Structure 1
Amino acid sequence: MATRKVLKKLKKHKDNKYLWFLISTGILAGLIYFSDPEKFLQSIRSADPLLLIPALGFGLAMFPAWSYVWYRVFQKSEIHMPYRKAVRIFMAGNFMNAITPLGQAGGEPLMAYLVEQNTDASYERALSSIFSADIMNGMPPITFILGGTGYLLLFGSLNTFIIQTVYMVLLVTAVGSIIAYLLWFESGTIEGSILKITRKISQKTGKGKELVKTLEEKLEKIEESFKAIGSDPKYLLKTSIISHAGWLMQVFNFVILMHALGYNPDFTPVYFVVVISGLANWSPTPGGSGTYEAAMATLVTIFFPQINFATGLTIGILFRLSTYWPGLILGWFALNSLNGEVEKK
């Protein structure tokens, strides 16, 4: 039954999936056209193919790291499964995120159904655990940007772009930290506020009593899950270190791609390009496609003035071909294998 729910929701997204991938492809085609197609093709041809293999290796290495973050969060919220299955569920979830028109956050409800059907966990516990894992995997860009800014403040110089980025990151950090603190260490605060507002609306309208009762039961399960996850701060800290290691794999990938195109970049600008580009994952296209490559190409030209936009776009596309697209293909196989297992039960 649960499998049918997932497949039904996937089918519901089918038309939108093709539309959004068409839009993403259109964005990329437009970028190549306006950036000078000849320069783009020239930079593609100049890439050293032997260096693309280790770049792909680092691109794939981040998936086991981020999957392990999921695994640890699941264990803490008492969703028991082998690590190998956690990897497959993470990869399947990565695929589902890519077929929704809401960027990185679009597939979470579908992921929760996938966890529910493959474990004995409730949907509410699965969703709260996935959201917690997302928070953990979303921390590295913030800490890396703040750390890199501190380094430049002490040993380098800050330009206007970096300063503006830091202001934005500080705002996101403040809001995100408050939400994470309330969910993990003051469980019930946000859930209680949602329930309070719902009750008031129900009392004023005289409707929705059953909805309030159902919501109360679901929020209670969600609260219990967040409380379990936040019960051991040291456990969360260790999990966060693993997530940061996954992000470093992307940095190594980018450095190798730069060398493949004949550039020997300094670490600091690479650090900022990769981390800031990652924010484009949250753009409203499947997996951030199109906007991610555009963001990376723009950042490359800002931090490496000697590189033109066409070459920057080449780097962005090669980066995605060795990080995002392999995960998408593996995720499709993972989703089908998981659904096949459930059908046999």
Structure 2
Amino acid sequence: MFGLDLRKGIIAFLIIIGVYGILFSFAGVDQLSAAIKSADLTLLCSVIGAIFGWLIACSMALRTILNALDVDISRMRGFFVLVGAIFFNNITPFGQAGGEPVTARLISQSTDSEYETGLAAITSFDTLNFIPSTFFAVSGVGYLFLTSTIHGILRIAAIAVVILAVAVPSFLFVGWQRRDRFTQIIVYRLTPVLKIASRKLPWVSPISESGMKGRIERFVKSIERVATDRYSLGLSLSYSTLGWLLLILGLWITFRAIGHAIPISVVLFAVPIASIAGVTPLPGGAGAIEGVLIALLTVLLPTLGVQLITTAVIIFRGLSYWIPVLLGGAVTSLYLR
């Protein structure tokens, strides 16, 4: 499956099921069942609608980037590629770091483009997608500073958000300014490793230093094309921002569906921060994202109680995790056939 071992995929799903089993027992199966049965069906359908809206907005952001790279892709195919990308991210460790190399291959094969173009597209998409999440998280931190006293886990989360908001753009800027130097380092360090791997692993193809340098340069040139296309950058960023708003709205509606209205500022702060936990070794950040969400919301909404918050998070993450996984898995299977 695009370089993924079926056995590893099965293990990943078993881990995810185990994680959700722990969350179910923590929330209480009876309370979870009662909350779902008594939930407002219209609002639950609205949550599903918000999740599909998030997926569509993100697919349009990715499609815009691909168009900037002269890769012609329809809206429907762009949606399929996006849910395929989320599928791979959700079944591989370390979030995007684990899934994006496979996603790049999916893009290249489904659009008849070079692998480096697909990798540049999905890398650019991830970078742009980080901007609105940081903006929303920083906005939530500012609101909390103005309206309440921040201490304990909230102080740690707030400091982490501020550090990320400064460190990540700075790192990207420095890396971009020194991209030629980094290209030389990667070629010098990685080529010998691939040569050794090609002798021991049949699926790794040997590559020369000139070949490696050429592929990296094609990747960098594709990134440069996206970075200099201001219209595509602005449009893709707008779609990404809309996607984040819809995802945040999904959690807010989830609480209303089970009979509890919470401030929108709380989820505006919690959802982007929890998404950072997707970089953990667990497949798709399963368990880590839920844990961070539950911890933050429990501190921010102490009157609701941890069991009710856990119930809401299970419902929200159950939908936002499994809808793209099931769609992406089906799309990937059909495409392989």
Does 2:9 align with 1:9?
no
- What is the number of equivalent residue pairs in this alignment? 326
Please state whether the residue corresponding to 1:129 is helix, strand or coil: helix
Alignment partner of 2:312 out of 311, 315, 336: 315
Deviation, 1:194, is 2.5
CA distance in 1, matches of 2:262, 2:95: 30
- 1:244 corresponds in structure 2 to 241
Task: Note closer, same or farther for the CA distance 1:113–1:59 as it changes in structure 2 (3 Å cut).
Answer: same
Does 2:150 align with 1:158?
yes
Does 2:289 align with 1:297?
no
- 1:188 corresponds in structure 2 to 180
Deviation, 1:199, is 8.8
Please state whether the residue corresponding to 1:130 is helix, strand or coil: helix
CA distance in 1, matches of 2:79, 2:175: 25
- 2:256 corresponds in structure 1 to 259
- 1:23 corresponds in structure 2 to 15
CA distance in 2, matches of 1:86, 1:164: 38
Deviation, 1:65, is 0.5
CA distance in 2, matches of 1:299, 1:167: 14
Alignment partner of 2:218 out of 207, 218, 221: 221
Is the Cα–Cα contact under 8 Å of residues 282 and 288 in structure 1 kept in the other structure?
A: yes
Q: Provide TM-score, normalisation by structure 2.
A: 0.86
Does 2:68 align with 1:76?
yes
Does 2:86 align with 1:94?
yes
Task: Note closer, same or farther for the CA distance 1:298–1:116 as it changes in structure 2 (3 Å cut).
Answer: same
Deviation, 1:216, is 1.0
CA distance in 2, matches of 1:35, 1:56: 22
Does 2:123 align with 1:131?
yes
CA distance in 2, matches of 1:25, 1:243: 29
Does 2:189 align with 1:178?
no
In structure 1, give the amino acid aligned to 2:12.
Answer: W
Is the Cα–Cα contact under 8 Å of residues 73 and 229 in structure 1 kept in the other structure?
A: yes
- 1:108 corresponds in structure 2 to 100
Is the Cα–Cα contact under 8 Å of residues 17 and 101 in structure 1 kept in the other structure?
A: no
Alignment partner of 1:327 out of 319, 324, 328: 324
Q: CA-to-partner distance for each residue in 1:57-79, whole Å, 9 max, x for gaps? A: 11111001001111111112222
Is the Cα–Cα contact under 8 Å of residues 2 and 106 in structure 2 kept in the other structure?
A: no
Task: Note closer, same or farther for the CA distance 1:127–1:324 as it changes in structure 2 (3 Å cut).
Answer: same
Is the Cα–Cα contact under 8 Å of residues 35 and 310 in structure 1 kept in the other structure?
A: yes
Please state whether the residue corresponding to 1:158 is helix, strand or coil: coil
Does 2:208 align with 1:211?
yes
CA distance in 2, matches of 1:61, 1:25: 26
Structure 1: gaps (5+ residues) = 1-6, 202-208, 341-345
Please state whether the residue corresponding to 1:9 is helix, strand or coil: coil
In structure 2, give the amino acid aligned to 1:78.
Answer: D
Please state whether the residue corresponding to 1:107 is helix, strand or coil: helix
Alignment partner of 1:143 out of 129, 135, 140: 135
In structure 2, give the amino acid aligned to 1:44.
Answer: I
When the two chains are superposed, the root-mean-square deviation of aligned CA atoms in Å is: 2.7
In structure 2, give the amino acid aligned to 1:144.
Answer: F
Please state whether the residue corresponding to 1:306 is helix, strand or coil: coil
In structure 2, give the amino acid aligned to 1:310.
Answer: Q
Does 2:280 align with 1:283?
yes
Deviation, 1:56, is 0.8
Deviation, 1:138, is 2.3
Alignment partner of 1:169 out of 148, 156, 161: 161
Task: Note closer, same or farther for the CA distance 1:200–1:109 as it changes in structure 2 (3 Å cut).
Answer: closer
Deviation, 1:191, is 2.2
CA distance in 2, matches of 1:198, 1:100: 22
Task: Note closer, same or farther for the CA distance 1:272–1:210 as it changes in structure 2 (3 Å cut).
Answer: closer
Does 2:335 align with 1:338?
yes
Does 2:300 align with 1:306?
no
Q: Provide TM-score, normalisation by structure 1.
A: 0.84
Deviation, 1:154, is 4.0
Is the Cα–Cα contact under 8 Å of residues 266 and 300 in structure 2 kept in the other structure?
A: yes
Task: Note closer, same or farther for the CA distance 1:187–1:100 as it changes in structure 2 (3 Å cut).
Answer: same
CA distance in 2, matches of 1:293, 1:70: 26
Deviation, 1:184, is 5.8
Is the Cα–Cα contact under 8 Å of residues 58 and 249 in structure 1 kept in the other structure?
A: yes
